């Protein structure tokens, strides 16, 4: 019973950690592409 609890907690931690890592992997390139798009199309600064 005790070992089942540890597996359950480990599984929840893996899902939460994997979800946040996946979010960072997808969102960082998306923001960079969006900034470059605005720079090319509208002439905005990349830091705006």
Task: Identify the pLDDT of residue 36.
Answer: 95
Task: Identify the pLDDT of residue 46.
Answer: 86
Domain ranges, residue 8:
1-48
Instruction: With H, G, I as helix, E, B as strand and everything else as coil, classify residue 30.
Output: helix
pTM higher than the cut 0.85 = no
Task: Identify the pLDDT of residue 6.
Answer: 95
* Region of residue 43 (left: phi > 0; alpha: psi -120 to 50; beta: else): left
Give the chain's residues under pLDDT 70.
none
**Total number of domains in the chain:** 1
């Amino acid at each position: 019973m005790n070992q089942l609890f540890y597996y359950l907690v480990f599984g929840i931690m893996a899902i939460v950690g994997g979800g946040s890592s996946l979010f960072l992997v997808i969102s960082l390139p998306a923001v960079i592409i969006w900034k470059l798009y605005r720079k090319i199309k509208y002439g905005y600064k990349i830091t705006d």
